[in-house]
Amino acid sequence: HLQLQESGPGLVKPSETLSLTCTVSGGSMTTSSYYWGWIRQPPGGGLEWIGNINYIASTYYNSSLRNRVTMSIDTSMNQFSLKLSSVSAADTAVYYCARLQLWSRLFDDWGQGTLVTVSS
């Protein structure tokens, strides 16, 4: 059974860069059948797609965040990462990593999420 686990600082200062890593276990990342994604959820709010990356580092980002988002992948470590620059309080959210199944376009497995607070 696939498991995803987010990790990274829970507190980031305004204007700095948020960095998170998702570690995948119980399955291979080196398959063309999936992309790997980040989704966030502000406190009390809804889900917002951030972006996806595949095993050869092909990426797609939400246009509203594109100028600030960078995703990377390290299949040897079974990890993929998110960097979000120039953060503000509006970036405070629970950040989820998830696997996107290409044939259904369904996020079929999710991490438990990690809360990142932007505050000085």
Q: Which residues bind another protein (CB under 8 A)?
A: 37, 39, 46-49, 52, 60-63, 96, 100-101, 104-108, 110-113
Q: Closest separation between CB of residue 80 and another protein, Å?
A: 16
The residue among 87 and 100 lying less far from another protein, judged by its C-beta, is 100
Q: Closest separation between CB of residue 47 and another protein, Å?
A: 4
**CA 22 to chain CA mean position, Å:** 7
Q: Closest separation between CB of residue 30 and another protein, Å?
A: 20
The residue among 17 and 47 lying less far from another protein, judged by its C-beta, is 47
Distance CA 20, CA 102 (A): 23
Phi–psi pair at 16, nearest 5 degrees: -90, -175
Task: Find where tokens 């960095």 sit.
Answer: 19
Exposed/middle/buried for 62, CB within 10 Å: 0-12, 13-18, 19+? middle
